[in-house]
Structure 1
Amino acid sequence: MPILEDLKEYAERATGLRRPGRRKAAALARPRKPHTVRFKDDGLVPNHPRWPLIIYRGAIDLGENHDPAAVTEDLFEANGWGETWRDSIYDYVHYHSRIHEVLGVASGKGRVRFGGAKGRIFTLKAGDIVVLPAGTGHQCLSADDDFLVVGAYPPTGTYDECRTAEDRPRALKTIPKVPVPRKDPIYGTGGSLFKLWKKAR
């Protein structure tokens, strides 16, 4: 599926077909109350020492006029979250120690565990958005064949992938240093992310 989705994305960006565009994407965001979850360091996955995972259920009106993945990409990019990708979520536990991440479900349904082996399992479906502060473990446990996720990152930070005990010493130092993004990936400056992560300091 990733290769097919890469080709679709390339064609959509080249032609503008099936994409709402960044300006119109904001109108497709639905007001949603954030659900927050905090995870403790489990000995392998540090998770974030202060900031919670944020879940917005059904936060995007994916409609039928546009490609759901393109809608999600345009909305993220309109709020400054870029380096987008289309795929599933890795089936092994991993985390990012130098950057935050947002995951938007474009289609299908999947069971994803956040927080590491001792974390919590959530069933995610199309339109759901999850914002992971640096250090948050994530792993796809099972998914429909059409489970498609769009991921993106804020402009500050550097992508890395941590999986082993050897990654921990450096990760424990870098995770707290990753700054709060300037905008919520869905709701921009009016979103909950800034308040929730600032408040949790």
Structure 2
Amino acid sequence: MEDLFEANSWGDTWRDGIYSYVHYHSRIHEVLGIARGKGRVRFGGNKGRIFTLKAGDVAILPAGTGHQCLFAEEDFLVVGAYPPGPTTNARRSRIGRARRRALDPRRSI
């Protein structure tokens, strides 16, 4: 899968899973290729559509597309890559940030 992405000028490849919280890349597109296993992924933020992805599937995410893994088989493996250009600039959604602040044990009530 890495060879296919790199042949089409998508580089800075990685192999891992997909975060379990909504996140997005504000300045760069991302391609996700499922190398192994199966998982349920939501694209489009907290109210986005849920897809079951399996080995061989590829998703291309325009910059700013929120995504998160809702379920993954134990062997779920994703290959990701980015087009030439700015850094990945991963960010969490605003809802995630507010919830994280509310759950922070260091904050007084």
Contact 2:22 / 2:93 at 8 angstroms: preserved in 1? no
1:107 maps to what in 2? 36
2:49 maps to what in 1? 120
The size of the alignment, in residue pairs, is 94
Q: Percent identity?
A: 77
| Partner SS state of residue 74, structure 1 | helix
Alignment of 1:1-201 (within 5 A): 72-165=1-94
Point out the structure with the larger helix share.
1
Moved over 2 A (4+): none
| Partner SS state of residue 98, structure 1 | coil
Higher RCO (CA < 8 A, seq sep 6+): 2
1:15-72 Cα offsets, whole Å, 9 max, x none, are xxxxxxxxxxxxxxxxxxxxxxxxxxxxxxxxxxxxxxxxxxxxxxxxxxxxxxxxx0
**1:139 Cα deviation from its structure 2 partner:** 0.2
List runs of 5+ in structure 1 lacking aligned partners: 1-71, 166-201
Contact 1:100 / 1:157 at 8 angstroms: preserved in 2? no
In the aligned structure 1, how far is the partner of 2:15 from the partner of 2:21? 18
List runs of 5+ in structure 2 lacking aligned partners: 95-109
Q: CA RMSD in A?
A: 0.8
In the aligned structure 1, how far is the partner of 2:50 from the partner of 2:56? 18
When normalised by structure 1's length, the TM-score is: 0.46
